[in-house]
A and B are shown apart, each in its own frame.
Chain A
Amino acid sequence: MSEPFFEYLLRLGDDRLVLGHRLSEWCGHGPTLEEDIALTNIALDLVGEANLVLQRAGQIEGAGRDQDALAYLRTDREYRNALMVELPKGDFGYSIVRQFLFSTYAMHQWEALSACADTDLAGIAAKALKQSRYHVRHSAEWLVRLGGGTDESHGRAEDALNDLWRYTGELFATDAVEQALVKQKLAVDSSSLEAVWRRDVADVVARATLTLPPDGYMQRGGRAGGHTEHLGLMLAEMQVLPRTYPGAKW
């Protein structure tokens, strides 16, 4: 039982760790001071969630790896995050659109996982659900402002939505690993989240006077360790210190 559940926890944890790292790249570069603080606060929440989920993953694996070992000592092929979260942060509009698409997904995912048969993961989910509501509201408000703002902000938000859409399909793809766990109430069927996600996304996109892109080819691979070149470069930066100085302490 432990192996699929370990794999599932890596998917959950890696999504948050990688996106949290991407968001943290805004530190000192936010468009305003308040926004700089907001983006890094959300990054902190996501890395905090990853910390708890990867800690649980280490316990389930039972091979003596803690959350730091899992974060810093795995290669890109061993990461299980969806491709969407590893893409470079782009401009502010791009980061906001991605944050909105992901946070809305994460909110529904945490809500379903609050009833998980693993009480540790259920507790983490109940806590993270509350945080994710703030994340959704933050990015949804920005999306409405950008879409209804100037031609420039509207155009950039629309470009980001069109660029990112092909990465949304992977969020709702389910597989044998997940299905085996769904039966044991350890995982949520990702495909079951798509309808509510689409409802919320369509609502905010319409309010932002943007157009929902058509569903075309959906890019996948992250859940099986097949990533874009961007993840390796990001991990090189994230992991350089613990790999160069193993066991380094403050």
Chain B
Amino acid sequence: MRILESVKDPEVPVLSVVELGVVRDVEIDGDAVTVVVTPTYSGCPAMQAIEDDIVSALRAGGVANARVRTVFTPAWTTDWIPPAAREKLRAYGIAPPSHSGVHSPVQLRRREPVLCPYCGSASTTPRSEFGSTACKALHFCNACTQPFEEFKAI
């Protein structure tokens, strides 16, 4: 686990793959180590990089017989990201995800306001549900006029 804590999400490098909730389990059988992972988004291009990084980090840490297995159930949710990791996201300039919940399917306006990660203001405007990566949305802070990204609750 200590080795896995050092493997960061290539697109959000303040979070480890453990904090992100991508690592679901570690199976140890003799000298063979299998890391069980679940993908974040179906088309996330970082997943292959994450799997490669896990295997190479374990090899560098002395585990020669390491492999990665993918499971789909239960589906990944941002609710698995612990409070300390959410604080890291905020400090990095990304608004952490709210509770995923279940929204009405065709709800047209967002629920509660997203707080600006820079100045904490609640006076922010969503710019787009889609950002630089599959997991982020774009917002604008009306108080400090800073555009920022939000880690989408899913």
Residues of A within 8 A of B (CB): 34-35, 37-38, 41-42, 44-49, 51-52, 104, 107, 119-120, 122-124, 126-131, 133-134, 136-138, 140-141, 144, 200, 203-204, 207
Q: Contact: A126 with B131, CB < 8 Å?
A: no
Q: Contact: B43 with A49, CB < 8 Å?
A: yes
Closest residue on chain B to residue A41 by CB atoms: B130
Q: Closest 5 interchain pairs by CB?
A: A48-B43, A123-B72, A48-B42, A34-B128, A38-B130
Q: Contact: B105 with A48, CB < 8 Å?
A: no
- The A-B contact count (CB < 8 A) is 93
Q: Contact: A128 with B42, CB < 8 Å?
A: yes
Cα distance A130–B135 in the bound complex, in angstroms: 12
Main SS at interface, chain B = loop
Q: Contact: B128 with A127, CB < 8 Å?
A: no
Closest residue on chain A to residue B103 by CB atoms: A133
Q: Contact: B43 with A126, CB < 8 Å?
A: no
Q: Contact: B42 with A107, CB < 8 Å?
A: no
Contacts of B39 in A (CB 8 A): 127
Main SS at interface, chain A = helix
Is there a chain A Cβ closer than 8 Å to B74's Cβ? yes
Q: Mark B28-46, 1 if CB is under 8 A from A, else 0.
A: 0000000000010111110
Contacts of B71 in A (CB 8 A): 123
What is the size category of the interface that chain B forms with chain A?
20 to 34
Is there a chain A Cβ closer than 8 Å to B5's Cβ? no
Is there a chain A Cβ closer than 8 Å to B118's Cβ? no
Closest residue on chain B to residue A127 by CB atoms: B75
Q: Contact: B134 with A45, CB < 8 Å?
A: yes
Q: Contact: A37 with B132, CB < 8 Å?
A: yes
Cα distance A57–B80 in the bound complex, in angstroms: 30
Cα distance A94–B85 in the bound complex, in angstroms: 41
Q: Which of B43, B77, B105, B138 contacts A200 (CB 8 A)?
A: B105
Q: Contact: B138 with A34, CB < 8 Å?
A: yes
Known: A34-B138, A120-B72. A48 touches B106 (CB 8 A): no
Q: Contact: B76 with A34, CB < 8 Å?
A: no
Q: Contact: A51 with B129, CB < 8 Å?
A: no
